[in-house]
Amino acid sequence: MPLELLDSPDLDADKREGLWTLNFGPQHPATHTTLRLVLQLDGEMVIDAEPDIGFLHSGFEKLGEVLDFNQYVTIVDRMNYVSPMANEIAWHHAVEKLLGIELTPRCKYIRTIFAELMRLHDHLLCLGTCVLDLGGATAFMYAFNERETIYEICERASGQRFHTSYTRVGGLLYDVTDDWVKMVKDFVRNFPKVYRDFSGLVMKNRIFVERTRDVGVLSREEAIAGGATGPTARASGVTRDLRRDEPYLAYDDFDFDVCASQGGDCYARFQVRMMEMLESIKIIEQAIDKLPKGPIFAGETGKAGMPDKKEVYRSIEGLIHHFESVMPNRQMPCPKESIYAATESPNGELGYYIVGDGTFRAYRARTRPPSILHFALFSKLIRGCMLSDVAAVLGSINIIAAELDR
């Protein structure tokens, strides 16, 4: 196929002759979840790709209009299930901005530590599984072994490994213990060694490098106009990171770098993710050393959020407080306004557009997942690549179908 054809998505009928169509997914190991691609191929070269999504659509946004601000956290958990707590933090960040709640320093620090742990969680899976798709099973095991430790840290804090539902409006479900602090410190101490091994296995692996270099190139202009954010945009030279540009939680207190690359190809995207992991460790290290003491719930007496469970079961005041915070006719009033608030999730900008109607429920709870804009770029990225590059490109933009379809 001559190269000029690649520029026009609408091929003439006669030129279409000789092309063949391949259905990729919705069940395929390299799609990880249920994505479907209809590929137009000339031999092994991809001429066009049409993504078909919606297989995992489960009406999350409709549920967001039925459940209250605290209940809906169990649903947002399930959007990007690779880094569940990042969704919770983003959701309650938006709710708190709408309600005008300022968090306590301890809560901010704990959430920041979890947000960065989730970034590691997500990047390890993204890199690990992509290497697996490209034929290297060893690095995958290294990544998943490390993810297991993060699961244990989540479990210690919230009682759940996976769908933690840990944040609450104005605070957290439970305070963390000294045990947990020790676990995080151990993790931070051990991680660089694993990182060295993992990095050596992946980024210096000749097969990996050759299969990802100059594959799926995204230019800076396309990244901006197409709405790409996070590592995908930063790998194309867009040096924007909400943690630095619109500091939320405790990010203002820490010293870290924004990682970017100019390459725009799959390798650059993996490189940015690798570098970000080290920055995350840097942030966790600073945060865990300076973890402030004090209450985890906002408000003068901690009344802005849910009471401590111990209080609920052991004192009448705690029970009344719990009652006041869960009964629909007694909950905190919410302004009749709308807000868009976003956080830097591992995959990019995860935003929520919330419309409040005066009750403690969202009138409209729009999720702006990074995946949907990244996957819309997919057909641009894959044109002109080989069939075997589909797995590399899919892996490098880290599409999570559950947050794509919601």
Partner 1 sequence: MANETTDSKPIDMGPLKSRLADLLSGVALEWSEFRGQTRVICPSGELLKCLNAFKQSGFDQLTDLTAVDLLEYGNVNDRFEVVYCLLNIDSGMRLIAKTYLNEPDLTIPSATSVWFGADWLEREVYDMYGIIFAGHPNFKRLLLPDDFQSFPLRKDYPVKGRGERHNFPVITRAES
Q: C-alpha distances in angstroms, 345 versus 119, 215, 289, 342, 348?
A: 7, 25, 23, 9, 5
**Residue 181 or 376 having the CB closest to partner 1:** 376
Strand ranges (DSSP E) for 232-389?
Answer: 338-345, 348-356, 362-368
Q: How far apart are CA 137 and CA 349, in angstroms?
A: 30
**Residue 185 or 380 having the CB closest to partner 1:** 380
- The burial class, CB within 10 Å (0-12 / 13-18 / 19+), for 90 is buried
Nearest-approach distance from CB 185 to partner 1, in angstroms: 28
Nearest-approach distance from CB 134 to partner 1, in angstroms: 27
**Residue 90 or 183 having the CB closest to partner 1:** 90
| Rg of the chain on CA atoms, in Å | 22
Nearest-approach distance from CB 358 to partner 1, in angstroms: 9
Nearest-approach distance from CB 88 to partner 1, in angstroms: 16
**Residue 253 or 357 having the CB closest to partner 1:** 357
The distance from CA 308 to its chain's CA centroid, rounded to whole angstroms, is: 28
Neighbours of 15 (CB within 10 A): 14
Nearest-approach distance from CB 244 to partner 1, in angstroms: 10
Cα maximum dimension of the chain:
80
Neighbours of 182 (CB within 10 A): 12
Q: C-alpha distances in angstroms, 350 versus 54, 68, 356?
A: 19, 20, 19
* 45 SS3 class: strand
Nearest-approach distance from CB 404 to partner 1, in angstroms: 9
* 70 SS3 class: coil
Identity of the residue numbered 320: I
| Residue bearing tokens 């605070």 | 171
* 93 SS3 class: helix
**Residue 120 or 223 having the CB closest to partner 1:** 223
Nearest-approach distance from CB 213 to partner 1, in angstroms: 26
Nearest-approach distance from CB 181 to partner 1, in angstroms: 25
Q: How far apart are CA 15 and CA 6, in angstroms?
A: 12
Beta bridge partners of 51: 37
User: Are the CB atoms for 297 and 304 separated by under 8 Å?
Assistant: yes
Nearest-approach distance from CB 204 to partner 1, in angstroms: 33
**Residue 203 or 372 having the CB closest to partner 1:** 372
**Residue 116 or 349 having the CB closest to partner 1:** 349
**Residue 247 or 292 having the CB closest to partner 1:** 247
Q: How far apart are CA 279 and CA 232, in angstroms?
A: 17
What does the binding site for partner 1 look like in residue numbers (CB under 8 A)?
Answer: 53-54, 57, 59, 61-63, 65-66, 93, 96-103, 224-229, 238, 240, 245-248, 298-300, 303-304, 332, 335, 337-340, 342, 349, 351, 353, 355, 357, 363-364, 366, 368, 372-373, 375-376, 405
**Residue 24 or 248 having the CB closest to partner 1:** 248
